[in-house]
Structure 1
C-alpha cells in the first residue's frame, strides 16, 4: 500500500512538472500582446516598452520560465496584470464557488444516476426503464448551455421557482446558498447523471446474472436484498471511476454554466484572464485544474480497495 502510494505520488509529481512546462510555453504562444492589452490601443511605443519591462516580457524565455518556476516553488503565483491583485487571492475568492457548484452537481448526478440505474435494471422491459433511458438520452445529447437557457426561461423567469442568476456564500447562509446553486448544479450534473445511470444499469445487469447472485437467490435471499448487497455494491466501482474522471472535468467545464447563471467562480476568472492575456492568472488556473485531476485520480485509485476488498492496490495476490 505504502509503496503503491509512493509510486503514484512520484508519477503525479512528474506529471505536474511536465504540465508546468507545457502551460508556460502554451500561454506564451497565445496570440496578442499582454502589454498592449494593459497599456491600451493608444499607448506610445515608449509606454509599451515600459509595460513589457514591468511584466518581464523583455527577458528571454528560459529566464522567464526560471523566474516563474522559482516564484511557483515559493508559493507565489504572481500578480494579475489586469487588476494588480495577487493571483492567489483571486483563486481563493473564486475557486470555492466552483467547488461548491461541482460538489453539488456531483451529489445530484450520483443520486439521480444510481437511482435511475437501479430502476432501469429492476424494471427491465417495462415503462420505468423506458423513462430512465429517455432521461439518459436527453442528458447525453442536449448541450448544457441549452438546458441552462431553457431552465432560466421556464423555471426561473416564468415559474419563479429558482433565481435566474446570482450567488450567496454557502458558508455564511447554507440554505440560501444551496438554493441559488440548485438550478446550476442540476444543469451541470445532468450529463454526468446520464452516464452514471447507463453504466450503473449495465454493471448491475452483468452482476445480477453471475453464479454467486443466483446462489444467493437460491438460498432464500430476497430480490431487494440481493440487489442492494451484490448488484449495487459492485456497480459502485464503476460510479467511483466515472466520478473521479468527471470531477476534474466539472471544475474546468463549469465555465459555460457559470457564465449562463452569472456565478463569480473559476470559470469567469478563466475567461477574463484569457480575453485580457493575463499570463499569471491563466498559468495559475491551468495548474490548479491539473493538480485537481492528479489528486482526484490518486484518490480514486485508493478508494477502489475500500469499496471492493478483492482489489489489491499493491499488486499482491
Structure 2
C-alpha cells in the first residue's frame, strides 16, 4: 500500500508540474501586458519599466517560472518585501499577497463543495437504491423520470428560481451568504443551504441513474444468485452483496466530482454572489492576474489528483478483488 501511494503521489506531482508549466507559459502568449493594469491611464515608459522590474516581468519566462515554483516552497523577495512560504506572489491587480486571498476565499468553496457533496451523494445514491429495489415498478419509474428531468436543468436557471420562490416570495430562507461555521453554525447552514441544493441537482440525477444501473447489474450476478439460493434474506443480499459490488464505480465518480467541485463551482458562486475560489479564478482571468490564476489552478489540480489517489487506495477496502500491485 505504501509503495502504491508513493508511486501515485510521484505521478501526481509530475502532472501538477506539467499543468503549471503549460498554464504559465500560455499566459505569456497573451497579447496583453499585466503591468499596464498597475500603471494606470497616464503610464509612461519609465513607470512601466519600474513595474516590470517590481513584478519580475523583466526576466525571461523560464526564469520567472522557476522563481515562482521555488517561491511556493522557500519564499521569495520582492521590492515590496519578503513573501514567506507558501508564496504564490503578489496579485498584479491589487498588489496584495495571493496566499492571503486564497486563505480568505478557501472556506467558502470548501463549505460549498463538502455540503453539496453530502447532499448529492446521500440523495442520489438513496434514490438509485430505491429504484433498483423496485425495478420495473412505480418507484423505479418515478425516480428514473425525476433524474432525467433534473439532469436537463441548469444551475443558473434553478438558482434564480430558488431565490425568487424561497427567499423573495415565501421568505422561508435568508439570502444565500457565507458565514464562518466557527462563529455561527446555524447561519452557516441556512446561508449555504440553497447553494447546496441547487448545485446538487444535476449530480443527484447522475448518481441516481448510475446507482440504479450498478445495483441492477449486481443483483443479476452469479454470487448474488448463489446467496439467494442459500436462503439469505433479501435485505442481506441487497446490502451485503449487491451494494458492496456497486460501490466501487460510485466511489470512482465521486472522487472525480469532489475534486472538480473543490476547484470552484463557478456558476453557483456567481449565481449566489459567493466569493470563493471559482469566482476568484474568473476575476483573475479578466484582470490578467497570473499569480492569482496560477494559485487557484494549482490548488484545483492538487484537489483532483489527491481525490483520485484516495479513491484508488479505497478500492482495496471496498472490493477485495482489486489488488494494488
The 8 Å contact of residues 108 and 185 in structure 1, kept in 2 or not, is answered as yes
Alpha-carbon shift at residue 244 of structure 1 (Å) = 0.6
**Change in 2 beyond 3 A, CA 1:160/1:29:** farther
Aligned residues: 314
Q: What is aligned with 1:164?
A: 175
Within a 5 Å distance, the mapping from 1:29-48 to structure 2 comes to: 29-48=29-48
Q: What is aligned with 1:50?
A: 50
Q: What is aligned with 1:307?
A: 318
Rounded Cα–Cα distance in structure 1 between residues aligned with 2:141 and 2:59: 63
Deviation >6 Å, runs of 4+ = none
> Structure 1 residue 126 and structure 2 residue 120: aligned?
no
Q: What is aligned with 1:64?
A: 64
Unaligned runs of 5+ in 1: none
> Structure 1 residue 17 and structure 2 residue 28: aligned?
no
The 8 Å contact of residues 263 and 301 in structure 2, kept in 1 or not, is answered as no
Within a 5 Å distance, the mapping from 1:111-260 to structure 2 comes to: 111-260=122-271
The two structures, once aligned, show a CA RMSD in angstroms of 1.6
Rounded Cα–Cα distance in structure 2 between residues aligned with 1:244 and 1:31: 37
Alpha-carbon shift at residue 43 of structure 1 (Å) = 2.4
**Change in 2 beyond 3 A, CA 1:115/1:31:** farther
Q: What is aligned with 1:98?
A: 109
Q: What is aligned with 2:79?
A: none
The 8 Å contact of residues 12 and 294 in structure 1, kept in 2 or not, is answered as yes
Deviation readout 1:172-231 (Å, 9 max, x if unpaired)? 222220111111011112212211111111111011111221222223222222211122
TM-score (normalizing by structure 1): 0.94
> Structure 1 residue 85 and structure 2 residue 99: aligned?
no
> 3-state DSSP class of the match of 1:164?
coil
Alpha-carbon shift at residue 310 of structure 1 (Å) = 2.1
Structure with the larger RCO, 1 or 2 (CA within 8 Å, 6+ apart): 1
The 8 Å contact of residues 77 and 86 in structure 1, kept in 2 or not, is answered as yes
**Change in 2 beyond 3 A, CA 1:30/1:256:** farther
Deviation readout 1:247-303 (Å, 9 max, x if unpaired)? 121123511101111112112221221221111111111011111111111111001
The 8 Å contact of residues 123 and 129 in structure 1, kept in 2 or not, is answered as yes
The 8 Å contact of residues 137 and 194 in structure 1, kept in 2 or not, is answered as yes
Alpha-carbon shift at residue 44 of structure 1 (Å) = 3.0
Rounded Cα–Cα distance in structure 1 between residues aligned with 2:185 and 2:317: 31
Rounded Cα–Cα distance in structure 2 between residues aligned with 1:158 and 1:134: 28
Deviation readout 1:6-37 (Å, 9 max, x if unpaired)? 21122112112212211211222344221122
> 3-state DSSP class of the match of 1:311?
coil
Rounded Cα–Cα distance in structure 1 between residues aligned with 2:199 and 2:30: 29
TM-score (normalizing by structure 2): 0.91
Rounded Cα–Cα distance in structure 1 between residues aligned with 2:300 and 2:30: 19
The 8 Å contact of residues 27 and 283 in structure 1, kept in 2 or not, is answered as no
Deviates more, 1:88-97 or 1:266-275: 266-275
The 8 Å contact of residues 176 and 194 in structure 2, kept in 1 or not, is answered as no
